[in-house]
Each structure stands twice: as C-alpha cells, then as structure tokens.
Chain A
Amino acid sequence: MQFSESIFAARFNIARGDLEGYLADALSQGGDYADLYFEYLLTSSIGIDESMVKSATQGVSMGVGVRVIAGGRTGYAYSDDLSPERIRKAARVAASIAAGPSTIEKFGLTDGPTHNLYPVLTAPTETAFLDRVELVKRADRAARAYDPRIFQVQAFYADSLRQVMVATSDGVLTIDRQPQARLNVAALARQDGGEPQRGQAGGGGRVALDFFLKEKTPEHFATEAAREAVVMLDAVEAPAGEMTVVLGPGWPGILLHEAVGHGLEADFNRKGVSAFTGRMGQKVASELCTVIDDGAIGSRRGSLNVDDEGRATQRNVLIEKGVLRGYLQDKLSSTLMRAEPTGSGRRESYAHIPMPRMTNTFMLAGESQPEDIIRSVPKGLYCVNFGGGQVDITSGNFVFSASESYLIEDGKLTRPVRNATLIGNGPEALKFVSMVGNDLRLDEGMGLCGKEGQSVPVGVGIPTIKIDRMTVGGTG
C-alpha cells in the first residue's frame, strides 16, 4: 500500500512533511532516535451461549505513540487524538527524557522494505455481520451434535483490522494493514449427572473469512472441543514426579515459547537477567533440536509484514542443532548490543513501548516416525493439548499446563489423564530431547503472549518429540 492510500493520509490528512516535523519535535531536546507509531484499529466480536447469540460488539480506536531514545533511556507519550496539536504535545513530552544537542539533523522519509504475507482484499472485519454470525451458530450446532453428553457450548468469534504507520528518524516510513480473525469453541460434557469436563479448541490467523468456510470450519473447531470434553470424562489422576514425556505435534510447541523463546529475547540478555545470558554458542539442547522464530510465514497469526518498529520481519535461528545461535532483537537492544536487528520489535498498541517479542516459534522436523516415538516409551505421558504457560526468565524455570494427555504404558496410549502442569528449566530441559518426529505442525492460531503487561498474538509449532525426563505435576 502507498502512503497516500493509507487511512492516515486519506482520512486524517497527514502528510510526509508533517511526520518529519513531528520527528523533529521529538528530537528537539536531543536524543539518538525517535519514532512515531500510528494505529487505527477496528474490532468486532460475536458470542453464542446456550444456542443464543447473546453478544455482538464492534468498535474503533486510534492513536499515535511517540518514542525518543537517548542512550539507554526511552521517553514515551501517546495521544488518542490525531490532531497536529496533540501529536506535537506527545512529541514534546517524549522529548523531555533527552538532554543535549540532537545527533540527527534531517528526517527525509523513504518507504522501507516490507512483505506481502496476508494479501486479504476484504478483511473479515469488513464483511457482513450476517455472514460472521453463522460461524458461531454452526459451531454451536456441531458441538452439540457431536455427542449427546455435550450439554453446554460457547463459541466466540473475534476479528480485527489494524492499520499502522511507522515513521522513524532513521528515515524509514512503513505502512501495514493487519487483518486478524479467530474462532474459539468451548464445550462441557457430562455423563449420568456426574462431574462435567471441559474441552476447548480454536484458531484463525491473518486470513479472509473464507478460511473459516473452506480450510478450518466452525465444525472442525467445534468437533475438536466436544471430542476433548468427552475424552476427559474417562480421565484418571495424572501421575506426579519425573518421567518420560512425549509431546504431540502443533500447539505443544508452547514448550519452546516458554522454555527458550522468552529467555532469548534480547532485552533480558542485554541486562544480564536471563538464564541464557552469556550462553551464546553453547549447547543448550540436544543436537536433534533446531528452533526457529519466523515472523514472515504467510497468513499466520504471529506473522507481520513489518514489526511494530517498521522493520521487515524475518526467519531467525535461535538454536541450531542444540547450540544457542541468536537472540530476538528490537531497535533499542540491537543498538546497545551492536547486534543486527531481527525484526522482533513488537507492541500491544500505540499506548505501549516496543519490546523484543516472539512471532511464530517452532522446532524443525526430525526423522522419527511419531508411532515409533510412542512405542519406545515403557511408561510415560503423551500430551497433545495445552492451556497456557509461564516462565521465570532469571531462574529459567518454566511451566505449561496439559489439558489433554494420555498415559503411555508399554509403548501404547492407555487412559486419558486429568489436567496437569509440567515444569522444567529452560537451558536444561531440551537437553533431554531424545527423539524428534518428522511431523512438524504449526498450531491452529490461537496463541496470545503476555510480557510486562503487553499482549501480542503469536504462533508456535513442533513435531512429535520425546523428552526423557520432565517433572509432571499430578496427584497420583
């Protein structure tokens, strides 16, 4: 998209010269760098509960964030009013962190490189509500039809269309139009008046509405949620203590997000507070493990044409055959660490300061057959679905919570087990990976990552892997 076609030029009458002026205001007190992040966000959502469409919302928000960096300091201010007076005021507030002559003299803006990862002509947010409401109604019907033991179904559809413009004192101007859509289904099953069990599924991406009609239908997610709820009716107590754990493909890649991803974000390593600090070039995983973070995969929930600092995203190797190879960088950390940027600067909105973040984090496929991996385990746990996870980046300890898993006994899957949290230590856990499957799969697109109060959409992926030793937090 051209600058002149952007909503900021067309609707808010912002010219390139204006942006250059605001950047000059931001650097008027000194400083090494400044940027402007304009955002215009449309969102909508539809919810069904008890087979009634009980909620429907839509909204619009807009604003601009102004950042000034002076050495290791950051000044930040924002405005939800895009008038020149308000933007200038924000620029002056952000400028107050700097003191001294500016090192930058001119701000001629030229268009920066970008991708075209989500060429969606009509974003889901721009389609008729009557089409979108069908998605939750179909999900409700399909989940109920799956099994007579399903007695409650909720489906929630949400989409957004975010238009952004980043102008930097490095002279780069980028514009992006970022669609996002997601459908989630939760189902409750109960047998003979007994204790209910829940199942959940969901997904989406930076896609057109067609995705939910042709690729991943409401029936797909609904059936998954209902199946999980019904399976859990027979679940036994989860075991407790160290054992062999096999992770299924796809969403269990959340292991990588928690165990290594956060610990490799450059801000933590620049400050020396990550368990991975100073381990570059060292072995932190078994040689079967190669871990990638790639923000440039088409249509994925975690992908971006340009990151939230206006830099094109790219494929970054974090761990190569077990050896630590790279950090995820944003503008500030890459400057201070004199490292190459990696297109990983992200923020929740115009009201937030960018930080190094993950995009789509996954492990490359290995050579083992998934069936052989399970067959090789005399006694252990096979986990196929997870809730959320969390990490303490300083100690390196991380957890992730299994929502669907099975006992492995004599190389066979036997009983489903109740929810249990798995815990490990980041720089150690992947050293126990002894088999990696040939079945790499990315998740279906429902990840949301939180860091220092900011949430951003992310993706994960993993093939079937076997971890010889991990602590499982059951009761049995």
Chain B
Amino acid sequence: MSENHLSELAGDVVKRALQAGASDAECTISEGDEFSANVRMRELENLKEAGSRGAGLRILIGKKTGASYTSDLSNEGIDHLVKSAIELADITTEDPHAGLPEPEELGALAGDLQLYSPDVEQLETALKIETARRAEEAALSADPRISNSEGASFDTHVGRQIFANSRGFAGEYRSTYCSLSAIPVARDGDSMERDYWYTIARGFAQLESPEEVGRTAAGRALRRLHAVKVDTQKVPVVFEPRTARTLLDNLFEAVHGMSIYRHESFLAGKLGEKVASENVTVADDGTMPGLFGTSPFDDEGVPSRRTVVIERGVLKSYLLNTYAARKLGMKTTGNAARGLTGNAGIGRGNFYMEKGVQTPEEIVAGIPNGFYVTELMGFGVNIVTGDYSRGAAGLWIRNGELAFPVSEVTIAGNLKDMLLGMEAVGSDLEFRGSVAAPTLKIGEMTVGGK
C-alpha cells in the first residue's frame, strides 16, 4: 500500500463507521519497522528484521462506546473492524462523560519536532552489527574481571502514526529511534554481577560512542562485585539518575487523571497543596524537539503542550485526557494515550524533574552515613496509599564518599514523606527516555537488611 493510502484509510474508516450508525468515531493506524542485532562474546547472536501495521477504531453511539482493532487492512478486514466496534456499543453503558474532544481543542503543533531522522533507515546491516560489536568489545576489554557478557544490542525503529476522527481531525507523523546497549558480567571469586548501560537517540549521529557505552556498563558491573548486606537502619538515601527516574514513574501514576477521579492516588484532592519539598518542580512537556515523549498531537488529536505538575513543592496540575478532564470538571492537558484500540488512557510527554544546583558529588559529600541506590527491583509501590518498599542495590556512603557495594536489601518509606523529604536535587538532568530526573536525595528511608 502506498504512503498516501494509509492516511486516506484512517479517514475512510471513520466515514464507514458513521455510515454504519456511529455518531462519532476515531481511527488510529500505526505502522512500524523494527531491526535488532545482538552480539555476544564477539559473535553475532541474533538478527531480527520486520515490519507490521494495524488499525484501531473506537466509536460512540450516543454515549455508548465500542472499540476494535485489526492487522488485516484489506477491504474485508476493514468491514470487519467497523462491524466489530459497532456491535460492542450494545453491551456498554450510557456514560454521560464519554465523547471526543471539542472541535476547538483539536489540532497539531506546527514546525519540525525532530522526531524523524533519515539516517536510521539508511544504515547498513554491517554497520549496525559492528556498532554492537564495538560496544561489547569495549566492555569485555575494560578489565580482566569482565569475563562474560549477555551481549550488546543495536536496535532501530521507524514508525508512522496516523489519526483521524469524526470532528474533522486528521494528522500523522513519522518517528525514528535507534539505541545501543551492553550487558557485561563481572566475576571475581564467588561474586558475579551484571549491569548495563545504553544510549538512545532519534538519529544514529546523536548516539554516544559504542566504546563509551561498553566502558560505562563494565564500570557499573565491576563496582557491584563483592556486595554486602548491611544492617537494617534508617539513613539518607540518594538515587542516581537511573533510579531517580523511577520515582518520576511513580509520581506519574499518582497524577494520572483516571486514578484521581477514582480516588486511587495519594495525590487525589491535593491540588494547590504542598506535596513536596521546595526543591521539587516537575513538568510534563510533549513539545521538546527531538525527545522521546514528544509528539505533535496526543492520541485524541489534541496538541501536545507543557504542563507544570509540581511547582516548588506545590501540586499544580494532574495529567488528563478528555474523559478524566470531564470527570474532574477540568480541561484535557493533551495527555491522551492508547495502543491501537480501546478508550484513551493517559500517557506522558517528557515527564521530568527540573534540575537543581548541586552536583552529585556535592550531594554525596554532605552525607556521613547513607545509601546511594543504583538499582531497584520489584513492584512494591502502592499508589493508593503511597507505601513504598522495593529491593535495592548500590553503594554505601561513608563520610561523604561511595565506600563499598551493597545488595540484597530493601528501601522503604511512603511516597508522601519521600516527596516532602527531597532534601537535594542534582544538576545532572539528562534524557534517556521520556522520563528523567537528576540525582535526588531523600532525608530518611528505612534500609532493610540483616
């Protein structure tokens, strides 16, 4: 099928849905090509290459909804798609808040958001394999204790997203990314540890060098060797950016509009209140050129925007789609997200914490006894109550320095207290994905060990 065919198809699906009895309809079509090369112990291990596409439809008949998807874009496939969605409106309930965005809310950001880089499509397979090989080689040759590896991987993705609805919206954009990661294994005596490092960018030219990725991954695995379990105690805890980012993931869940109207978040009903220390400013911004959470419009056809979520500790906004906004008597923040089908959920643009002034070294230097967390494990976060308890590994801080590796411990607290106890925010903010945070220090948490 030609490029134009798919754009027209989305509009055509909407028309066919209206003809079949829908009062409103929205259609998503996505198309993607993926490539992956994996090198392990200096040999090519996996090579994967393929493309796929699919169409999703959501319809309303009055205030009742139905949704369907298909990977069959033939005429018969589309007929079935429309019939499937219409049929389901019979079993859903009239919901006074269901519906598409108002026409005046629809639109797309103008200008080049730098989501697509042509170099990704032009890369030779040999170069992609070589890039992975160089990253693994740098890890393996970094130190004799790096004796094994889970390999290095080079991945690319080229995608196209098309959206049309019955309120007159039609839009599409293309995007690319490529990424390089390495997972070396360090061994010394009885101790064996692995770690990883990666680089990701919209274009090949913006990736960090394979050698840097490999060496960083090796250094991270090496510094975990001979980790010990410490005694159970309450201490200050520092999250490096890679783990600090997961706290932003937790915060995103807590300001998620659907959780708010259901009172399923510890931040429900807290708008305008102080929920974090003054050091904390968090924004969601889907407009930042070239970043991974950027898009010209959200998955309901509303333009992406910047929303300040927490400003100097005060909760300013939730993240909303049209439905959650109507439930809360607010306006959408352009955060609708969905896969091919179903009602829109809520997603993030680039969701990040503004950087502070202290360097990570300065933050650690001020701590006589504490825990520097480099890895978190498990799912022990309860957004309803804020209860937080996760497995952790990292380095013990002794007299302002990273002294020795620690593993097989837990860190626990409550997100409400953790946000208020954010004593320091580092200056080292960088984006390796759509969620980012600099180094963070929390005044006190419980480390569970011996």
Residues on A facing B (Cβ under 8 Å): 45-46, 49-63, 72-80, 90, 93, 96-97, 129-130, 133, 151-152, 154, 188, 190, 195-198, 238, 240-242, 271-273, 275, 351, 353, 387-392, 394-395, 397-401, 418-421, 423-425, 471-475
Contact = CB atoms under 8 A, between A and B. Distances in A.
Interface of B: 40, 43-50, 52-54, 56, 65-72, 77, 80, 84, 87-95, 98, 125, 148, 150, 185, 192-194, 224, 227, 229, 232, 262-264, 266, 340-343, 375, 377-380, 382, 384-385, 387, 389-391, 393, 407-414, 446, 448-450
A87 to B, nearest CB: 12
B390 A72 contact: no
A50 B44 CA distance: 53
Contact of A72 (B45, B92, B379): B45
A424 B408 contact: yes
Nearest to A128: B91
B380 A387 contact: yes
A419 B410 contact: no
Contacts of A78: 50, 52
- Interface residues of chain A: helix, strand, loop or mixed (majority): strand
A401 B72 CA distance: 41
A80 B53 CA distance: 8
A271 B46 CA distance: 14
A198 B384 contact: yes
A475 B442 CA distance: 15
B85 to A, nearest CB: 8
A399 B91 CA distance: 41
Contacts of B232: 240-242
B194 A59 contact: no
B379 A401 contact: yes
Given A76-B46, A242-B450, A394-B194, A61 B54 contact: yes
Nearest to A59: B69
A196 B449 contact: no
Given A78-B52, A353-B48, 17 more contacts: A55-B343, A59-B68, A61-B70, A133-B91, A152-B263, A152-B264, A195-B266, A196-B384, A198-B385, A387-B380, A390-B377, A390-B379, A399-B378, A423-B377, A425-B408, A474-B389, A475-B389
B405 to A, nearest CB: 10
A475 B77 CA distance: 55
Contacts of B393: 392, 395, 397
Given A56-B66, A390-B378, A425-B408, A96 B192 contact: no
Nearest to A134: B91
A473 B46 contact: no
A401 B379 CA distance: 7
A198 B378 contact: no
A475 B412 contact: yes
Nearest to B34: A351
Nearest to A352: B48
B125 to A, nearest CB: 8
Contact of B47 (A45, A76, A238, A398): A76
A390 B391 contact: yes
B378 A72 contact: no
A425 B192 CA distance: 13
Given A61-B54, A78-B50, A471-B408, A188 B384 contact: yes
B342 A57 contact: yes
Given A77-B50, A240-B448, A53 B45 contact: no
A56 B407 contact: no
A397 B193 CA distance: 10
Contacts of A397: 377, 391, 393, 407-408
A130 B91 contact: yes
The 5 closest A-B pairs by CB, nearest first: A473-B410, A399-B391, A399-B378, A59-B69, A241-B232
A388 B379 contact: yes
B92 A423 contact: no
Contacts of A63: 52, 71
A473 B194 contact: no
A153 to B, nearest CB: 10
Contacts of A90: 50
B71 A73 contact: no
B336 to A, nearest CB: 14
Nearest to B323: A54
6 contacts: A51-B93, A55-B92, A74-B45, A151-B263, A399-B390, A473-B411
Contacts of A80: 52-54, 71
A154 B192 CA distance: 44
B412 A55 contact: no
Nearest to A73: B44
Given A240-B232, A418-B385, A395 B193 contact: yes
A240 B448 CA distance: 5
Contacts of A400: 378
Nearest to A274: B192
A73 to B, nearest CB: 6
A420 B378 CA distance: 11
Nearest to B191: A395
Contact of A56 (B65, B263, B414): B65
Given A420-B389, A475-B412, A395 B380 contact: no
B95 A52 contact: yes
Given A78-B50, A133-B91, A420-B380, A55 B385 contact: no
Contacts of A72: 43, 45
A400 B263 CA distance: 26
Contacts of B48: 75-77, 353
